């Protein structure tokens, strides 16, 4: 087992995590109040496993994941909205497999509409 390369970014209401595994199978995502556990296999049968103790509490009931051919994206509703997360992990250490998704990282001003549209787009899938 090895950790999947993971990107994350922060939004006013949600925190997003993207596990970069192509052609994933056997995807399992468990989202708890302060922990996320992810596992899957890729086309070659390699097993991936990531466990993240989250920086702050999330609402596990209003959190979901979406699989595509290239990755699995999870979005987790923050318990305290509009509070920025300086990092995704509880511990102040950055695992080698984890990095910030700068393409999606934006300042929050005027961003709620964008976020709502993204969540609705995921919900339709």
Measured CA to CA, the distance from residue 103 to residue 90 in angstroms comes to: 23
Is position 95 within any domain?
Answer: yes
**Strand locations in 1-125 (E):** 6-10, 14-19, 25-31, 35-41, 47-53, 58-67, 72-78, 98-100
Summarised one tens digit per residue, pLDDT across range 63-76 is 999 999 999 999 99
- Structure confidence by residue, pLDDT tens digits, 53-102: 999 999 999 999 999 999 999 999 999 999 999 999 999 998 999 999 98
1 inside domain: no
CATH number at residue 32: 2.60.40.790
Assess if residue 104 is contained within a domain.
Answer: yes
């Amino acid at each position: 087992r090895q950790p999947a390369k993971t990107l994350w970014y922060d939004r006013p209401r949600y925190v997003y995590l993207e596990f970069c595994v192509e052609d994933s199978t056997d995807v399992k995502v468990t989202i708890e109040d302060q922990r996320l556990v992810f596992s899957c296999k890729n086309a070659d049968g390699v097993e991936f496993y990531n466990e993240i103790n989250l920086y702050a509490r999330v609402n596990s009931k209003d959190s979901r994941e979406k699989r595509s051919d290239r990755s699995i994206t999870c979005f987790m509703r923050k318990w305290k909205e509009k509070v920025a997360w300086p990092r995704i992990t509880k511990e102040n250490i950055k695992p080698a497999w984890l990095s910030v998704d700068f393409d999606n990282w934006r300042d929050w001003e005027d961003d709620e509409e964008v976020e709502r549209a993204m969540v609705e787009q995921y919900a339709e899938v």
